[in-house]
Amino acid sequence: MIAQAAIGFSLLLLLLAVITGGSNQKYPNVPTLRVKTKEEDIQLYLKDVMELLRVGYQKYSKQGRNYLLDLPKGKYFVASHHYLDEIMRAPPSHVNAPDAQSIMTQTAYTISAPVANDQWHMNVPVRKNLMLALTPSLEIIVAEARAYLDEQIGQPESTSVLASDFAFDIVVRTANRVLFGKQLARDPRWKRVCVEYSEVMFAGANKIRFYPNFLKRIALWFTSDIRTVHKLAEECTFPVISERLEKEQSFRQQGRDDTWEQTKPSDAIQWVIDAAPQSEKTPNAILDRLLHITTATVHTTSFTFLDILHCLSLTKEYTEELRTEITEVFRAEGGWSKQGLTHMAKVDSYVTEVTRWCPMSGLKLARLALKDWTMKDGTLVPKGTIIFLNEKAIYDDEEIFDSPKTFNPWRMYQRRQKEGEAQKHQWVMASPTHLHFGYSKHACPGRFFASNEIKVLIALLIMRYDVSAIGIPGGLAQVAQGYWGDNNRVPIMGVKLELKDRVSDIPTDIRQHFI
């Protein structure tokens, strides 16, 4: 009866959405992409957007022309790559990235309206402090990752793990140790929140995006587990946040401000508390900011690492070359160091190729027109238009990448060997042809932290184990395809990894750094 009631309520919401779904939104005067019929194209958008984007890229984008893409409700304006710099340099009063992202993730409903309206926590708290923490956090990442491998895998002759569980568990644990402190990092409830809230948030956003605003929160409550997961987040974070707020107040009331500044914790919880306006120094408001941080960092990094695991398990012919580079770096550096990770050029190239091969989305660089805006070619972009660029089709363009349908892990390494290119083509360097982290001033502020974390995990994994895949009959093509829904790609699930211990094969002079 409960299931039937839920289905009936969902149908009622859908009917209300259709009845009230009219829109007065105007769109640029450019062609609308048509591959089949309008209805069939909308279904393609929901189930296999890449078929649409491949046609749109060849027919319009590559020719320097913009076009519109039909959605279940409304349209997206897909700009040609030729206009990338113009869009990125547009005044934020006219074209805005955070507002577009809030619409895509429906932040006002999946988290809160204050977070959607002002993402101050992504500036000083994340962008600045996470950069400052890169060197001291490296030791923590290594220790936490080694502890996870020791506890969960150990050194058996051979064992198998579910790749998705392994990827999420080790990424969440290592990232959380740096971002949220030891207490939350070791709390299984917070780990569950980090995994499930991201899933609920992105899936929920896709469900409610085309509903009228007044129905969105109701629809989200009745069609997802967001209230359950949020309650769990409150249970494990409120005591930590409250203790921090009370300690700060106590120190300041005693006139011991300097002592507090010298002894307070250094993690994202404290960074957010320090930057919060007085009106938001409450457990509820701080938690909302922390949830936004974890969905922006842990979620994407976990999916990226899962794709890397799949690719590593299918391209074992490259593993020994990666191990050789890691060994050379450790002998030169004498241990783990930020500089050493930077010197892992082949590891970096491998990761960059995986994210080219397996992008997280088809469209990228969302921008919202806050007012009518005229582009240099005369195209009028009306207020309310959401602007995108076609990411995946760029990666498949033979004029940009040689043999783009071939997985070449040394692609960027080879480019860096050319004169004057040694410091270019790195995974963290956003460019017009590498959009994994976005581009321009709104590029992901946590990309340097993510790069360090990913490289540490790869080095520990392949030095300690031989990795094979069980359950990817389609090989790299199946990994690249993943599962598409709306504009987003999710890695394949259900793959088992076979891990065979090889600790005895690690050169004795560097073995202590990996076990």
Query: Under 8 Å CB-to-CB from 24, ≥6 apart: which residues?
Result: none
The pLDDT of residue 124: 73
> Which fold, 2-365+378-513?
Cytochrome p450 (1.10.630)
CA distance 172 to 166: 10
The pLDDT of residue 7: 47
pLDDT digits (tens, 9 = 90+) for 132-153: 777 778 999 999 999 999 999 9
List the Cα angle 251/256/259 in 5-degree steps.
Answer: 95
Annotated binding residues for heme = 444
Position 339 pLDDT exceeds 90: yes
The pLDDT of residue 296: 83
Across all residues in the chain, what is the average pLDDT? 91
The pLDDT of residue 329: 98
Tokens of 288: 């909302």
Annotated binding residues = 444
CA 443 from centre of chain: 12
The pLDDT of residue 189: 94
The pLDDT of residue 23: 62
The pLDDT of residue 223: 87
Instruction: Give me the DSSP letters along 3-39.
Output: HHHHHHHHHHHHHHHHHT--------SSPBP-SS-HH
The pLDDT of residue 73: 87
Question: What confidence tier does 262 reach under pLDDT thresholds 50, 70, 90?
Answer: very high
Please give the C-alpha separations between residue 34 and each of 59, 206, 349, 388, in angstroms, as whole numbers: 10, 23, 37, 17
CA distance 345 to 470: 29
CA distance 210 to 512: 54
Position 299 pLDDT exceeds 80: yes
The pLDDT of residue 12: 52
Position 491 pLDDT exceeds 80: yes
Domain boundaries, the chain: 2-365+378-513
List the Cα angle 139/142/146 in 5-degree steps.
Answer: 140
pLDDT digits (tens, 9 = 90+) for 139-190: 999 999 999 999 999 888 889 999 999 999 999 999 999 899 888 988 999 9
CB distance 289 to 237 below 8 Å? no
Q: Is 217 helix (H, G, I), strand (E, B) or coil?
A: helix
**Weakest mean pLDDT among 74-78, 337-341, 482-486:** 482-486
* Number of neighbouring beta carbons within 10 Å of residue 333: 16
CB distance 146 to 280 below 8 Å? no
Q: Which residues pair with 388 in a beta bridge?
A: 78
The pLDDT of residue 192: 92
What is the arithmetic mean of pLDDT over 292-297? Answer: 88
CA distance 446 to 452: 10
Question: What confidence tier does 210 reach under pLDDT thresholds 50, 70, 90?
Answer: confident
CA distance 272 to 118: 13
The pLDDT of residue 10: 52
Question: What confidence tier does 24 reach under pLDDT thresholds 50, 70, 90?
Answer: confident
pLDDT digits (tens, 9 = 90+) for 429-444: 999 999 999 998 888 8
The pLDDT of residue 128: 81
What is the arithmetic mean of pLDDT over 341-350? Answer: 97
CA distance 432 to 448: 18
Position 16 pLDDT exceeds 70: no
Pairing of strands 488-490, 386-390: unpaired
CB distance 210 to 163 below 8 Å? no
The pLDDT of residue 216: 92
* Number of neighbouring beta carbons within 10 Å of residue 473: 6
Nearest to residue 174, comparing CAs of 465, 463, 452, 445?
452
Pairing of strands 386-390, 75-79: parallel
Question: What confidence tier does 5 reach under pLDDT thresholds 50, 70, 90?
Answer: very low
Position 9 pLDDT exceeds 80: no
CB distance 495 to 470 below 8 Å? yes
